[in-house]
Amino acid sequence: MQTNEYLELETEDAIKRFHSGENFYSQHVFGYHQEDQDGETGFVFRVWAPNAQQIWLVGTFNDWDESLPMEKNEVYGYWEVFTGKPSENDLYKYKVRQADGRVVYKIDPFAIAFEKRPDNAAVIHHVPEKKWKDGLWYGRKKRSNFFQRPINIYEVHASSWKHHEDGTPYSFADLKEELIPYVKKMGYTHIEFMPLMEHPLGASWGYQLIGYFALSSYYGKPEEFQDFVEACHKENIGVFVDWVPGHCCINDDALPKYDGTPQFEYENPDRAANIRWGSVNFDLGKPEVQSFLISSALFWLEMYHIDGIRVDAVSSMLYLDYDDGPWEPNHEGGNRNYEGYYFLQKLNAVVKLAHPEVIMIAEESSSDTQITGLIESGALGFDYKWNMGWMNDVLDFYKMDPAFRKDHFNLITFSFMYMMQENYILPLSHDEVVHGKRSLMHKMWGDRYKQFSQLRNLYTYMIAHPGKKLLFMGSEWGQFLEWKYDEGLEWRDLDDPMNNSMQHFTTSLNALYKEQPALWELEESYDTISIIDADNRNDSVLSFIRKSKKKKDFLIIILNMTPVERQDFPIGVPYQGSYKEIWNTEMQEFGGTWKEHNPDQLTEEVPFKEYPYRIKTVVPALGALILQPDKIKIPRKRPSAK
């Protein structure tokens, strides 16, 4: 059999699997590929557009004319053309005569590179095969259980972290030299990027995509991002990327009505229209769309060695009534979007089968569907869910005048009631510092000193609360201005002693988090926490214990939510002995006024709440303390009678 015949058989099999929803590497058959045909080396271009009347390949190599008509495979509805003309950096599009005869220039859905926006032609670019040097990182990942390891995420918008003096954003070559050392210095375990895929409008922050296989040219070349991830892994930093499979950019030259009919989107116009975000919803029940999207997810995991994906807007894929427009109940009369539900289960099953060590994260705001856990139990199969309820409650509380906090104390204690229902990430993300919501620093009540005090209190509460952590860039030093997607962060803030001290505080807190197994080792179980006092509304002081696998290694967390210093404040403890203060948010080095820690505290044989002993300490106004057992007596278990 000739080589061309083998290629034809492989292509036919791949396209059959694409149509059945089981081709998870569909970029290997669609898009452009260099091939030899009849002794000639050239490119094969393929695109799926079953209802188009005619398609031409047009580009800089043929002056954008109709000299390269594509031929349709009537059985499988794809078009292809073989040509020897294109070369590196040539631009191209597909000129599509749609089902109704309208002629539109369309992007290549499988392109791996585009020209810089606002233009959007695909670019012929061959990424050299990389010899990765991150084997040690992968080995450690496979040997460890990420549920029982610290995860502290620094969320980044790649083009607004820092700008050059001329106002141009950093590329990944630049970020490799500056962002990685910064994240290492700050002590974060992972970087999470807002979407890096090609998008035509910067104001969408990357959440309205056109190129599901393309790194945005705004950020540099694909090989630069590969090098960035490799460099992160060498410094023991993981990399997550946001990804948007629910909806896509509405632009006429992108995916919507690609062949003139609802090809990627739902046929029902009410279901296809995403009114809230001005985009188009994918038909997640269509097998070809499943192949397309899951191929995109695996492409990013394997092409760039990223360590996890955060799936955006999961609720919009789960509920028919999530959007603002009209909707129809499902066949059972409910609001469940079964196509989205089963697609997300399929996505997680495929990813976990191929890459069990990858972390799958859902940004999801409801409580009607089990998001994390085994698919066999009815869950979607994600590893983590953003805890949006915790985030909303906590920020509402910290914005409040302390005089009223005693009446709303449940805002910071309610999460203890449901904290084990899912595997959670506690997010203080980009969504909370834009559109007039104010920065985290600016949300805090009071004058500037009190704002910094409360920000330190809030971050200590987040680190001490069960769940993995996420903080948006700039929040680590208390940037006062809201985030602006088209400008760099306010790095000049760090010339201010208060901002500089805040940054040092966050660095120290991140180090404490990694050093203390009690803050992450047992997070899958209620054994990780014991509440000391969550009912002290009048004083508005919350206290609880975080525990590790070793009985003697635990931490006592005390949070004062008022601007009143609490003298001789009683705290219940489980064991007799002495307790040492290892964390005080009001130390001078952090921007507070305290020069020395509280002295070690000896227990009194006085019961407190459910605890047989108590200690007394001074709790700073708007401050947070963490105490550690120093010399304690743990009773031995008596042997059972035989």
Residues with a known catalytic role: 312, 363
Collect all residues with Cβ–Cβ distance below 8 Å to 560 and sequence separation of at least 6. 457, 539, 540, 541, 566, 619, 620, 621, 622, 623, 624
Q: How many helices (H) and strands (E) does the chain have?
A: 14, 29
φ and ψ of 631, to 5 deg: -130, 100
Burial 496-521 (b: 16+ CB within 10 A, else e): eebbebbbebbbebbebbeebbbbbb
Cis peptide before 118 (omega within 30 of 0): yes
3-state helix, strand, coil in the chain (%, to 5): 30, 25, 45
Q: Which tokens sit at 494?
A: 């760090």
Q: What is the largest CA-CA distance in the chain?
A: 93
CA distance 106 to 146: 42
- Burial letters for 88-103: b for 16+ Cβ neighbours within 10 Å, e otherwise? eebbbbbbbbbbeeee
Taking the C-alpha atoms of residue 301 and residue 88, their distance in angstroms, rounded to an integer, is: 25
Tokens 């009534």 belong to: 321
For residue 634, what is the enclosing H or E element? Answer: none
HEC sequence for 373-438: CCHHHCCCCECEEECHHHHHHHHHHHHCCHHHHHHHCHHHHCHHHHCCCCCEEEEECHHHCCCCCC
Q: Calculate the alpha carbon distances from 120 to 91, 175, 200, 612 in Å.
A: 9, 24, 7, 69
> Cβ(561)–Cβ(543) under 8 Å?
no
* Ordered DSSP codes for 516-576: -GGGTTTTTSGGGEEEEES--TTTTEEEEEEE-SSTT-EEEEEEE-SSS-EEEEEEEESSE
In b/e form, how buried is each residue of 184-218, taking b as 16+ CB within 10 angstroms?
eebbbbbbbbbbbbbbbebebbbbbbbbbbbbbbb
Structural element, H or E, at residue 241: strand 238-243
For 34, counting Cβ atoms within 10 Å of its Cβ (0-12 exposed, 13-18 middle, 19+ buried), the class is exposed
Whole-angstrom distance, CA of residue 522 vs CA of residue 414: 20
End-to-end CA distance of the chain: 79
- DSSP character at residue 155: E
Look up tokens 């369309």; give the residue.
106
- CA-wise closest residue to 429 among 361, 508, 499: 361
88 forms beta bridges with none
Please state, in angstroms and as integers, the Cα–Cα distance from residue 315 to each residue in 136, 268, 388, following that order.
Answer: 37, 19, 12
Asked if 491 and 518 touch (Cβ cutoff 8 Å), the reply is no
